[in-house]
A = this chain, B = another copy of it.
């Protein structure tokens, strides 16, 4: 495509920003050195002929997407030493394309490392790192997802042969969904119900070879294949696995914690909570992914909204940039604010995870329940917010948003399964609620509540201090008030059902919608409060902070207006205060408007990552759309 320079409107937007974008980028990525490093990597990738010769993913069949996924993996693997990359940074250059071996590095190897004995690590890790063994983690079954105790695959110990017999006893027990199970891998860690000496000891993990290391042929007793095409994840051969009486050696059970002795004696693990750490880690990654997805969608839709002109505001007037429409600001600016909120939430989770796992190593498990609840809640809250937000961004781009040229459908189909995998969001929220109910009971019994949840025990104020200045203090208090009220309402509802004779599980189910509301309000409070705390202790310059403050206020005020009933049902905010909040929101749009493009530029996401005709840094969207069309395979023939 011909060099056309930067679109005039976009260039003007960048001149009009009231703060220095570079300062904000430094703030986001932890200083100029880290920003420089990021850019180096992106520069290398953008100049790499390997990426240049790949055709756009949307013009590839699922088979080609998969082949490209493998090729990319091998290419990155070669580059890792050359460029001194680490695995995570690479992902930046191939976004939204979970490679066929991501699960090998992300789940298979870590599982061996965390659940294997010293001998098992010795035996498998070298081969896994060399990719002779290629593995996945086979947990989910056709009939069983988030509820692990329901898994049906069996591993029955036979003391005569000293082997486990693995089996898929039913249709519903067929493993279904594990990434890279269909074609790529030759091993997997199977999660199965352990039977020994006639007793079931619940789920445990077992190493199973599925394909030959020589010719990759499927081994006896194994039926394995891909599960077929999906909404997205074309690069990944999610698979199914049916196991028919496959015998594996006793020491293929991962025995760091639980053990089965040669004679079939089962030895319990010392502590059942140690595996929480991995879950917390993966959920903290999802929060970061949610941020990235929403940030990218905001970059695309806000830049495009600055370039796109449509309609007229008065007869014969010039068509305005669509970013000037209040309705467009109303849809996009709160999402931009949400992206920043998710960014800070993701940062919090990483830190909390590292600190938490150090404590776990030392055997200090007191804070684990709170951390576990927060990770479950934020996983659900942020994946949902990002997914819904990405679709709004897409629809805000009009017709072109529907084309794969926009890059937006791919972002959506990549982030929305995060609402389901690694713990279905509703189930996650109910776990949060369970923790909150425990806290509420502790409060009723006069115990002190730890850290962040202590607000539950505060004496509620009858009315809000909110005025048009939207002080952080009043914003946070409003969210605390709402969460505390909903927690109390759910708890009281449940207690009243129990008092009138309902069994506990029935009272729980009949209160579960209210419990969801409470858990959601709790997570929302966390995001607001954490955003506020980050601004308050920000090391940025005053102009940057001023804009960030407006973004944070918008996040807070929009959240109130979007869930208004929950904030005002008890009269906490008056009708007049609500009117003021609405006006304050409209004024914030005006503060953010000149900075909108700069606020997305600050995410510093290169064009190669965005893969979007609409979101290009140079704003030459129409030329790019035209070029995209001409590349279509159907246009290469008559």
Contact = CB atoms under 8 A, between A and B. Distances in A.
A580 to B, nearest CB: 12
Interface stretch (A19-27, A251-259, A323-331, A536-544): A323-331
Interface in A288-322: 308-314, 317, 319
A534 to B, nearest CB: 28
Interface stretch (A263-271, A458-466, A603-611, A620-628): A620-628
Interface string A599-638: 0000000000000000000000011011011111111001
Given A506-B313, A634-B183, A402 B59 contact: no
Residue from the set A516, A564, A565 with the largest chain B CB neighbour count within 10 Å: A565
B421 A399 contact: yes
B632 A227 contact: yes
Interface string A552-585: 0000000001011111111100010010001000
Contact of A145 (B399, B566, B578): B399
A424 interface: yes
Contacts of A409: 230-231, 413
B509 A145 contact: no
A147 interface: yes
B513 A622 contact: no
A140 interface: yes
Contact of A217 (B147, B413, B569, B638): B638
Interface string A45-59: 000000000000011
B327 A430 contact: yes
Nearest to A410: B231
Contact of A144 (B310, B395, B405, B564): B310
Contact of A313 (B330, B509, B514, B568): B509
A63 B60 CA distance: 11
A403 interface: yes
A354 interface: no
A334 to B, nearest CB: 11
Contact of A508 (B313, B331, B513): B313
Query: Which 9 pairs show the lowest CB-CB distances between chains A and B?
Result: A564-B565, A225-B635, A231-B409, A313-B505, A228-B632, A147-B311, A314-B505, A58-B229, A227-B629
A280 B537 CA distance: 56
A147 B319 contact: yes
Given A513-B586, A569-B575, A570-B575, 7 more contacts: A58-B229, A59-B229, A63-B633, A314-B504, A326-B512, A399-B420, A563-B565
A559 to B, nearest CB: 12
A484 to B, nearest CB: 16
Q: Count copies of this chain in the complex.
A: 2
Contacts of A563: 565
A426 interface: yes
A417 interface: yes
Residue from the set A399, A420, A504 with the largest chain B CB neighbour count within 10 Å: A399
A18 interface: no
A171 interface: yes
7 contacts: A59-B228, A61-B61, A171-B622, A225-B629, A328-B426, A399-B420, A402-B420
A441 interface: no
A638 B424 CA distance: 33
A32 interface: no
Contacts of A201: none
B403 A230 contact: yes
Nearest to A514: B582
A526 interface: no
Interface in A393-434: 395, 398-399, 401-405, 409, 413, 416-417, 419-421, 424-427, 430
